[in-house]
Structure 1
């Protein structure tokens, strides 16, 4: 991961242009803000989405909303550097806590991620929160890895 200059006053790109998630796997709908160390995204829970049941989107899916917002942050940086969105991996989380069992259909979620640690080797740690209809309901520290060459990494050619 490389450092990005703040990009305030620049319109946010469509989510599809900055993350590799597509179709049913794309959970976030729009970017609200991105700068050198922070990103905020918005999502609306829809009945037709993957994972949604009778009670809505299960609370444990909050970690994926956070991971996709981290991916969007990295994708905005890639875009600023003239590259397409890279591939990253969710390594794990610490202290994921969610105050609700599910996010009801129609809920508007606001996901915020803040860089806590960024390594030259592609490892990163983010402090994340998720608010539902304006009230924070989930939080976690999320660890991610974005290899310089995802294809080589997946084939076991990069450590």
Structure 2
């Protein structure tokens, strides 16, 4: 289990933090967990979450992986970008309220320019989802965000 609260690992705030905790993490992987609760930003009227939110759960798991790695090195948690996903597959249309979900992300590629690819799996009772996420974390994110556009 992570020694840090999830809010200290991802650059999200308040209701945008969808994960409850980091179950485990290593040099190349992470496992996170959440229980679907009523009243969230993305919940449907019955309290369930649409399956497409699984992509955000996977992305936040990747962000938590980067946050854990930064914390281990004594570095600040920095902003990253989800560039896209390939082949998102899910066997259900929604995740029911009260369901405990586990998300696993395995880093399959990362280069020195900040590009990365993660193989992700989301599971719960009768639920299986898979995707490959393409992510980007610029080496100097603050200066990257403040670059002036050419005239």
- Structure-1-length-normalised TM-score: 0.88
Give matches, 1:45-124, under 5 Å.
45-55=36-46, 56-124=48-116
Secondary structure class of the residue paired with 1:42? strand
- C-alpha RMSD over aligned residues: 1.6
Distance in 1 of aligned mates of 2:56 and 2:102 = 13
Secondary structure class of the residue paired with 1:109? strand
Which of 5, 29, 44 is the equivalent residue of 1:14? 5
Runs of at least 5 residues in structure 1 that lack an aligned partner in the other structure:
1-9
Which of 99, 116, 139 is the equivalent residue of 2:130? 139
Q: Deviation digits for residues 52-96 of structure 1, max 9, x if unmatched? A: 012410000000000000000000010011112110000000000
Distance in 2 of aligned mates of 1:124 and 1:118 = 4
- Structure-2-length-normalised TM-score: 0.92
Which of 121, 143, 148 is the equivalent residue of 1:152? 143
Q: Deviation digits for residues 99-121 of structure 1, max 9, x if unmatched? A: 11110111111000001101110
CA deviation after TM superposition for structure 1 residue 139, in Å? 0.2
Answer yes or no: is the 8 Å Cα contact 1:28–1:43 preserved in 2: yes
Answer yes or no: is the 8 Å Cα contact 1:93–1:140 preserved in 2: yes
Distance in 1 of aligned mates of 2:72 and 2:99 = 31
Distance in 1 of aligned mates of 2:147 and 2:38 = 38
Answer yes or no: is the 8 Å Cα contact 1:12–1:33 preserved in 2: no
CA deviation after TM superposition for structure 1 residue 12, in Å? 3.4
